[in-house]
């Protein structure tokens, strides 16, 4: 029996949820991952697919998750089980919640390592360890940073402990407060960096790289990566948004809240791109140089600009904070489930989870040094955690949530919860029933090589497929007319 019937904590202020959800969404995904993936997958085409995925899959799935969380009043597992039973459907749907919770935790296990990089670079900025370094030195410093398991382990331990301390303190005092000053600070820092980049000589190239669409530069693998990243950056299908949604007061508008979070998240990612690529191009660096991209490029800019050390310190403080407000959201599902179902106090649940996190994240950290040879199918443990979550579990989880909301629940359940105008509700239903699932499936099929789809050239055919599937779906679904027309 669950103990979730007691009143659930709620966010303190009107902006509590928006702040916390934005804090979860904006993180290393925007500033570290988005630029390096854009670099690896060829620029503008990747950015376009990513934006299309945010709009067509990310936003509708995010609305769904918040609505499921608020109506189900619990961790993903409990919320989905409750909603399924309210609709008279099998409790096996709660497996979706299990997968989301596991996914959030798996992400955290590699995320703390990257957040540790950010802390390490903050320390390097403070101690002057980067002063006078050339482009080549920066690559060597990044490698040396990873080669030492003791310092790398110490920094990821700091992140793991900080995460658990904040989560242990609870939703209101821990999570909400830390976000309210970090987010504006991050944006100001990025604006300063863009301002610097605009005069660095690489700005034109950066704009071209980010926004010029060249369909041939995007592989099937890149399409899947862009879709996975849309989930990752909005913290979807990993329990975070759904659990935060369970603390959302009834009066808040889910549609407006979702748009605010998605727009803020996308802007920060694009701003990060505009801050980083001018430095890359001005210094003749390789945009596709992988996960070290921001750590090798930004310190160069800090060196060259006036007050660079100060800005560098501020930047890495902000990045580390942005990482923390995301990492706390990744364990919130697990901690909430443990406290609701196992009778543990928040503190005990947090520390218990923290110990498991520490062990697994240490294994991920070792991928960069002692365990560099321990690979499976060419990937080490760190890469597997990233690959399994972003390319597999999140898109599949998102597909599951969309179908659950679109076809499994009774339509009035989420209609009440979402409270949208009939037209917007119809649009949301169309997205979760057809556009998102079909989009996810097609990108999977393409990435697996079962069909070679050229999305740019074959879009009229794809639109036709969507129309036919929608028609068949609507005609065969009993009660569907009611759903759209009432
Ligand atoms: N959205 C975060 C980022 O972009 O850094 C990462 C993330 C947070 C993923 C929370 C998943 C999650 F549950």
SS3 428: helix
Q: Are residue 302 and residue 224 in the same domain, yes or no?
A: yes
Q: CB neighbours of 415 closer than 8 A, spacing ≥ 6?
A: 425
Q: Could you list the pLDDT tens digit for every one of the 486 residues in the chain? A: 344 445 666 766 667 788 889 989 999 999 999 999 999 998 999 999 999 999 999 999 999 999 999 999 889 999 999 999 999 898 999 999 999 999 999 999 999 999 999 999 999 999 988 888 888 888 899 999 999 999 999 999 999 999 998 888 876 666 667 777 777 888 888 898 898 888 888 899 999 999 988 777 788 888 888 999 999 999 999 999 999 999 888 888 999 999 999 999 999 999 999 999 998 888 888 888 888 899 998 888 888 878 888 888 988 988 998 899 899 999 989 998 999 899 899 899 999 999 999 999 999 999 988 888 888 888 999 999 999 999 899 999 999 999 999 999 988 899 989 999 999 999 999 999 999 999 999 888 887 877 787 877 788 898 999 999 999 888 887 655 454 444
Q: Are residue 178 and residue 230 in the same domain, yes or no?
A: yes
User: How many Å separate Cα 410 from the centre of its chain?
Assistant: 29
Contact of 176 with 19, CB cutoff 8 Å? yes
Helix axes 293-304, 94-127, angle to 10 degrees: 30
Centre of ligand 1 to C-alpha 186, Å, is 16
SS3 192: helix
- pLDDT of 338 reads 93
Centre of ligand 1 to C-alpha 24, Å, is 6
Q: CB neighbours of 377 closer than 8 A, spacing ≥ 6?
A: none
Centre of ligand 1 to C-alpha 204, Å, is 30
Q: Please state the atom number of ligand 1 nearest to the C-alpha of residue 34.
A: 4
Q: Are residue 302 and residue 366 in the same domain, yes or no?
A: yes
Q: Are residue 334 and residue 218 in the same domain, yes or no?
A: yes
- pLDDT of 484 reads 45
In angstroms, rounded to a whole number, what is the distance separating the alpha carbons of residues 202 and 433? 43
Q: What is the pLDDT of residues 144-193, one digit of tens each?
A: 999 999 999 999 999 999 999 888 887 666 666 777 777 788 888 889 88
Q: CB neighbours of 49 closer than 8 A, spacing ≥ 6?
A: 218, 222, 223, 226, 227, 455
Helix, strand, coil shares, percent, the chain, to 5: 80, 0, 20
Question: Domain tally for the chain?
Answer: 2
Contact of 75 with 346, CB cutoff 8 Å? no
Q: Please state the atom number of ligand 1 nearest to the C-alpha of residue 333.
A: 13
In angstroms, rounded to a whole number, what is the distance separating the alpha carbons of residues 438 and 431? 9
- CA distances 140 to 56, 82, 296, 354, Å, are 41, 53, 9, 32
Q: CB neighbours of 467 closer than 8 A, spacing ≥ 6?
A: none
Give the number of other Cβ atoms within 10 Å of residue 134's Cβ. 11
- pLDDT of 479 reads 57
Given its phi and psi angles, is residue 140 left (phi above 0), alpha (psi -120 to 50 degrees) or beta? Answer: alpha
**Looking at ligand 1, which residue's alpha carbon is closest to its atom 9?**
235
Q: Are residue 267 and residue 140 in the same domain, yes or no?
A: yes
Centre of ligand 1 to C-alpha 132, Å, is 34
Q: Are residue 324 and residue 470 in the same domain, yes or no?
A: no
Q: Are residue 349 and residue 478 in the same domain, yes or no?
A: no
Within 13 Å, how many C-alpha atoms sit on residue 361's CB side? 29
What domain range includes position 483? Answer: 458-486
Q: Which of 411, 430, 419 has its CA nearest to residue 483?
A: 411
In angstroms, rounded to a whole number, what is the distance separating the alpha carbons of residues 97 and 113? 25
Q: Are residue 468 and residue 393 in the same domain, yes or no?
A: no
Pocket test for ligand 1, best of 21, 26, 27 (most atoms within 8 A of CB): 27
Q: Are residue 364 and residue 484 in the same domain, yes or no?
A: no
Q: Are residue 270 and residue 181 in the same domain, yes or no?
A: yes
Please state whether the predicted TM-score (pTM) of the whole model is above 0.75: yes
**How far does the chain reach from its first CA to its final CA, in angstroms?**
37
Q: Are residue 367 and residue 484 in the same domain, yes or no?
A: no
- pLDDT of 412 reads 87
Centre of ligand 1 to C-alpha 365, Å, is 19
Centre of ligand 1 to C-alpha 464, Å, is 34
The phi, psi pair for 14, rounded to 5°, reads -60, -35
- pLDDT of 485 reads 43
In angstroms, rounded to a whole number, what is the distance separating the alpha carbons of residues 47 and 203? 17
Q: What is the largest CA-CA distance in the chain?
A: 70
- pLDDT of 13 reads 65
Pocket of ligand 1 (CB under 6 A): 24-25, 27-30, 104, 107, 232-233, 235, 238, 240, 326, 329-330
The CATH number assigned to the domain holding 423 equals 1.20.1740.10
Q: Are residue 251 and residue 270 in the same domain, yes or no?
A: yes
């Amino acid at each position: 029996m669950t103990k979730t019937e007691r009143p659930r904590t709620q966010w303190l202020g009107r902006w509590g949820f928006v702040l916390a959800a934005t804090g979860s969404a904006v993180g290393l995904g925007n500033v570290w991952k988005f630029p390096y993936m854009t670099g690896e997958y060829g620029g503008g085409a990747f950015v376009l697919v990513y934006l299309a995925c945010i709009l067509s899959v990310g936003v509708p799935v995010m609305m769904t998750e918040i609505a499921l969380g608020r109506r189900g009043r619990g961790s993903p597992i409990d919320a989905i089980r409750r909603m399924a039973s309210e609709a008279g459907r099998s409790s096996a749907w709660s497996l979706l919640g299990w997968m989301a919770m596991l996914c959030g935790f798996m992400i955290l296990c590699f995320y703390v390592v990257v957040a540790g990089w950010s802390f390490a670079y903050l320390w390097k900025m403070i101690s002057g360890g980067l002063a006078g370094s050339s482009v080549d030195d920066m690559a060597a410093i990044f490698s040396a940073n990873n080669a030492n398991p003791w310092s790398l382990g110490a920094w990821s331990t700091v992140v793991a402990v900080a995460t658990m301390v904040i989560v242990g303190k609870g939703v209101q005092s821990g999570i909400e407060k830390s976000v309210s000053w970090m987010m504006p600070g991050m944006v100001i820092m990025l604006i300063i960096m863009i301002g610097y980049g605009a005069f660095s000589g690489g700005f034109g190239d950066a704009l071209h790289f980010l926004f010029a669409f060249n369909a041939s530069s995007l592989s099937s693998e890149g399409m899947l990566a862009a879709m996975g990243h849309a989930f990752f950056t909005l913290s979807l299908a990993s329990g975070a948004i759904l659990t935060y949604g369970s603390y959302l007061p009834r009066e808040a508008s889910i549609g407006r809240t979702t748009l605010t979070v998605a727009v803020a998240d996308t802007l920060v990612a694009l701003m990060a791109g505009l801050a980083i690529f001018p430095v890359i191009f001005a210094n003749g660096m390789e945009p596709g140089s992988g996960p070290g991209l921001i750590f090798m490029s930004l310190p160069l800019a800090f060196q060259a600009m006036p007050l660079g050390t100060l800005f560098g310190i501020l930047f890495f403080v902000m990045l580390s904070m942005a990482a923390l407000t995301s990492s706390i959201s990744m364990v919130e599902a697990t901690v909430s489930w443990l406290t609701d179902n196992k009778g543990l106090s928040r503190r005990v649940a947090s520390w218990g989870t923290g110990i498991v996190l520490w062990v697994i994240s240490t294994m991920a950290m070792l991928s960069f040094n002692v365990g560099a040879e321990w690979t499976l199918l060419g990937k080490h443990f760190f890469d597997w955690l990233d690959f399994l979550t972003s390319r597999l579990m999140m898109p599949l989880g998102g597909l599951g949530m969309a179908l659950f909301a679109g076809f499994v629940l009774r339509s009035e359940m989420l209609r009440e919860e979402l409270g949208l105008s009939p037209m917007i509700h119809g649009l949301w239903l169309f997205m979760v029933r057809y556009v998102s699932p079909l989009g996810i499936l097609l990108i999977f099929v393409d990435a697996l090589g079962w069909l070679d789809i050229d999305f740019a050239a074959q879009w009229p055919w794809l639109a036709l497929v969507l129309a036919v599937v929608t028609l068949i779906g609507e005609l065969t679904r009993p009660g569907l007319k009611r759903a759209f027309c009432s």
